[in-house]
Amino acid sequence: MNVIEKRKGIHTVMLYAGRLKYAQVQKVIDHLEDMGQIRKKRGDLLNLDRQFESSLFAGRGLRFRIDQSHDCSNGIALIVNPSTLLCGEDRPLELYRPSRKTCTEIWKCAADSLVKIGLFEQKGSGRRAIVAPDDLSLSRMDLTVDYWLKDTDGEALIRLFSKGQMPTHFQPSKWNKETGKNLYFALESQHCRIKLYHKTFELKKSGRAGGPPCVTILRLEISLDREAFLKRLKADKDTSAYELLKCGDACIEKIVRKYLEKMFPCTGDHLRYDAARGRIMRERELEEEMREQMLFVLKKTSKGSGLDTALKKLTAQFGPEAKTGVLAAFDRLGINPITLPNESKLKQCPSLRQLLEVPKEARA
């Protein structure tokens, strides 16, 4: 397996137009319904508190989420693919690198799009925008890395990713079962989502170009909501959107490394299951109790739900001190407790902690 290159940038941002009136949002809903360009996502029994989605301008890099409520806030979220929006055509493999000029252009295009879906006031024969560009707050950013790999097994790598240790407050996403086995895996907390998915497969499935032949593209996205990126970037709420995006883009390496270290505490190579088991059995310097514990973790991780569950079962059976010793033993042997399937096309690969790490010189 060869890593051809790693590209980093921002794939998606979410802008939010808040503090709207119920009637203003209703006007937008009516306008999109007349066009047949809206879908109800959820609502209460009385149909007073509702959420809608629209992909009217999806081809231009813009989608909408519309929140309407009698008791809570009303607003419209704009999910923006900056590269597509700026180019005016689909750019699925181009990641955005912020500049002050393009940031201003994105916010202006977003505000203009709200007028086009009915969010305006009639002034004589003209229209007055209700939401100005500066009224749109940055509410989410997706920090992204694309891995261009040759002679690899993309599904096997995503499976390895799914077996990692869960960072505190994270759990597997409900979307994992609906998306496809070993083509997508995400874990999420209240304010962050981390996902690795088979970008080549996604593009080919939708009839778009999937990159050069014999190259597999895996995409890692870390989606941070406003609370999360303000904390991670050590910024305050008055920091401009451009400065936040610029800082987020500059911190991709640091943030990716932080989560990878938590998910993959061992740095040894991923071997096929039988090869890893054989390596442990042949190691003469291992004490029998340690060998038993390593085989226990290896089996529970590779044939069960993952390293997180395996380590919890280990400490329950062998005591809380067993975890540190077992992980250190795996590192001494240079193997990883997360293994490849015996039938995998790959015989071994570097630890995902190292494979997915982003060097500062990664291509934009």
- At 151 the pLDDT is 87
In tens, the pLDDT along 58-116 reads: 999 999 999 999 888 899 999 999 999 999 999 999 999 999 999 999 999 999 999 99
| Domain 142-264: which CATH number of 3.30.310, 3.40.1000, 3.30.200, 3.30.1050 | 3.30.310
Reference 218, options 163, 147, 156, 162; nearest CA is 147
Is residue 301 scored above 70 in pLDDT? yes
**Ramachandran sector of residue 116 (left: φ over 0; alpha: ψ -120 to 50; beta: rest):** alpha
E strand residue ranges, the chain:
2-20, 39-43, 50-54, 62-68, 74-80, 120-123, 126-129, 137-150, 171-172, 184-188, 192-198, 215-225, 270-271, 348-349
Task: Check if the beta carbon of residue 225 is closer than 8 Å to that of residue 140.
Answer: yes
Question: Residues of 195-233 as b/e, b for ≥16 C-beta within 10 angstroms?
Answer: bbbbbbbbbeeeeeebbeeebbbbbbbbbbbbebbbebb
Query: Three-class SS of residue 143?
Result: strand
In tens, the pLDDT along 132-153 reads: 999 999 999 999 999 999 989 9
What is the spatial distance between Cα 291 and Cα 288, in angstroms, rounded to a whole number?
Answer: 5
In tens, the pLDDT along 1-49 reads: 788 999 999 999 999 999 999 999 999 999 999 999 999 999 887 777 8
In tens, the pLDDT along 164-210 reads: 999 999 999 987 765 666 899 999 999 999 999 999 999 988 888 76
In tens, the pLDDT along 256-266 reads: 999 999 999 99
- At 180 the pLDDT is 60
- H-assigned helices in 14-140: 22-35, 82-87, 100-116
- At 45 the pLDDT is 78
pTM, two decimal places: 0.92
Which residues does 362 contact at the CB level (< 8 Å), separation at least 6?
A: 5, 6, 7, 8, 145, 253
Question: Residues of 38-53 as b/e, b for ≥16 C-beta within 10 angstroms?
Answer: beeeeeeeeeebbebb
CA dihedral for 280, 284, 288, 290, sign (positive or negative): negative
